[in-house]
């Protein structure tokens, strides 16, 4: 059975102190708000609304855990890059995400979702820089590839590959479209590879 066929919402976590026990295997999804993260998760899970539970009011600034069965979880990290978030909220967000990213033993793979038209942004770099000392594997989805011509998409892939080349761990990148469902099998295969180890 596919890793993604049994995804179920499990917990929403607002504070680093409330994270569930650090056991099992987790794959976390991160990305700038509006990059297409929820659409990507739904496309991978072949579901329409699953990841949008993370967007219900009050849940936009928390970590959302989805159960994949057999002690595996998909973790939806709150989107970043909203200037509108007040200072205090921003601090809480930074603490929650940085604690999770830097300390979580169960985290086996970070999937970084970036809009192919914007490439790797400074916020994405922050996240990679936090993760760098752990050298954990990262897989980048350049989403909304359907909005680019083939040539533009190839250029975007090349530029983004250059922007992440200095990451010290295993890092891979691909074009993706949650809307057209292109790149779904490739992304699923990458995730399955790290989740099984």
Q: Does 39 bind ligand GDP (CB under 6 A)?
A: yes
Q: Does 183 bind ligand GDP (CB under 6 A)?
A: no
Q: Does 143 bind ligand GDP (CB under 6 A)?
A: yes
Q: Does 61 bind ligand GDP (CB under 6 A)?
A: no
Q: Does 67 bind ligand GDP (CB under 6 A)?
A: no
Q: Are strands 72-76 and 63-69 parallel, antiparallel or unpaired?
A: antiparallel
Q: Does 36 bind ligand GDP (CB under 6 A)?
A: yes
Residue 139 to residue 118: CA distance in whole angstroms: 17
For residue 74, the minimal CB distance to ligand GDP (Å) is: 14
Residue 36 to residue 23: CA distance in whole angstroms: 28
Please tell me the number of Cα atoms within 13 Å of 140 on its side-chain side: 31
Closest by CA to 163, choosing from 189, 127, 193, is 127
Q: Does 35 bind ligand GDP (CB under 6 A)?
A: yes
Residues that bind ligand GDP (CB under 6 A): 31, 33-39, 79, 143-144, 146-147, 177-179
């Amino acid at each position: 059975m596919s890793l993604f066929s049994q995804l179920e919402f499990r917990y929403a976590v607002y504070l680093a102190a409330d994270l569930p026990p650090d056991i099992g295997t987790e794959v976390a999804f991160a990305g700038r708000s509006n990059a297409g993260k929820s659409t990507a998760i739904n496309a991978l899970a072949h579901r329409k609304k699953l990841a949008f539970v993370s967007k219900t009011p009050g849940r936009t600034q928390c970590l959302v855990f989805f159960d994949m069965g057999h002690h595996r979880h998909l973790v939806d990290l709150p989107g970043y890059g909203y200037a509108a978030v007040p200072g205090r909220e921003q601090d809480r967000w930074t603490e929650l995400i940085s604690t999770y990213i830097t300390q979580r033993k169960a985290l086996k793979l970070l999937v970084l979702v970036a809009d192919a038209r914007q490439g790797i942004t400074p916020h994405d770099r922050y996240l990679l820089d936090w993760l760098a000392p752990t050298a954990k594997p990262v897989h980048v989805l350049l989403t909304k590839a359907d909005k680019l011509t083939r040539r533009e998409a190839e250029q975007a892939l090349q530029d983004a590959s250059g922007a992440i080349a200095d990451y010290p761990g295993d890092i891979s990148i691909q074009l993706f479209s949650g809307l057209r469902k292109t790149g779904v099998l490739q992304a699923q295969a990458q995730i399955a590879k790290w989740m099984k180890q």
